[in-house]
Structure 1
Amino acid sequence: MSLGDDHGYGSEPADRTDEGFGGMGQTRTRLPGGGDNDGYGGARRPVRSSRSLIMVVGVVVLLIAAIAFANQGGGDGTSADPAKGGPGTQPTAATGVKPVKGKAGGIPSGYAKDEQGAQSAAANYAVALGSDGMFKKGTRRDIVQTVHDPAIVDSLLGNLDPAYSPSFLANVGLKPDGTAPTGLTFISRTVPVGTKVTALKGDTATVEVWCTGLVGLAGPDSTKPVTETWFTMTENLKWVGHDWKIGSSSQREGPTPVSGDNRASSADEIAAAVQGYGGFTYAR
């Protein structure tokens, strides 16, 4: 969910009736060798001697030991330093500069003026703009002021406040003040899947953020169940006051993957998950 989104709840995932993997029939294995017919194609072969079994186990142990020794990264018994890009580096190890430490209004701030900093800023700003705080006037103002260029904040709020009208909020199941009805939990959370810089020059950058989102009301009597959405935000960033800020943004649908076969959780499970699992600070 973000600026310009119609806050729809998406289409129902297509029903899938995949058959289980493998068949239900039995498999018969013919063993080599002649002899009496036991109904399975031949007589059973003699059991290996204990000496042969010990030899096999010994070879396996030696192989495991050799692999473990090779993975130590050197003959001196010390592993290579991943930070120096040695053999100890893992494909999934964290890379790049350390994530930002600063926060403004609860939103990470203080990004580097480079491609990595622009991507980190865009991802974190997408999270903020897709949060449930956007549905309440006070927190919406705080979010907009924190992530946008100060020069456009007033005009942007002038357009957003009427958009989050009581009729719109009622359409998504909320009260006029943006809160959920008693007994229900409103959920609106955006999770960046990836980012891409499409332009970077001087004090400006354009970053695309591919996102998935959760939105809806969780509760026993909800008529707006929590569903997932997929969309891509394009943020045009400006370097203002020693940090990246949004000058303008847009959103388009997708890319959307095929829905999986996971069992849908109960409303209580969804509400407990969103309340119990906090979000992340995104930085590359």
Structure 2
Amino acid sequence: MGRLSGKSAIVTGAAMGQGAAIARAYVAEGARVVIADVAKDEGQALADELGEAAHFAHHDVSDETSWAAVVEDANARFGPVDVLANNAGILRFGDIERMGRDEVDLLFRVNQLGCFLGMQAVTRTMRKNGGGSIINASSVEGLAGMAGCTAYAATKWAIRGMTKCAAMELGRHRIRVNSVHPGMIDTPMTRVHGGDAAMEFGASRVPLRRVGTPADIAPVYVYLASDESAYTNGAEIAVDGGVTSTHAFGG
């Protein structure tokens, strides 16, 4: 306990699933957390559950103005932001030949642009405050390919690349930037694409023979937010049960 004592964090996409697990873990370790999400009811409920150490902010990651407001609010409420967990993201499947431009644009705006705007929005605060940690949510689809995921994978490869560049650019300001690459995680975002059948199929492709849970992901975010990772910068950490170690991945 207390690994994040005194730290102020923003977690995007924090109302449910993986983001909610990260927010809970941050508060448990002593951080004060802004739960940033478009899901008002779920986000406020989580903030109420976590008490005074948490605050819900309605936030659209694809909106530059919204980013400015949430960072300003976090700075005023909990002190200068030390940690940004750029967790918000959406998943859409679609064949190259048939996927609509509107879905492709939405993936790019939320996953890729949202991540960039988040890094941009916190950099000034972190630089003035002597450093910080930015943690970008990529995916195993940002390490390899999978049929039916071209547009989604494009955003996750982009996050991987942006993380590397930002780590080089911001390191001199003691701002660390790393990416996390979850495999198939049992969350509302993934369950909507096939439910139990999808989970069972996903588990069959994992060397550990199970899909992940948000509780498998949150500890990595705690490590990267903490001072324990003071020399970890530009890293990409796969939390996937071994999927990316197999040649079968992306088949």
Larger gyration radius, structure 1 or structure 2: 1
TM-score bracket relative to the smaller structure: under 0.3
Greater per-residue strand proportion: 1
**TM-score under structure 1 length normalisation:** 0.25
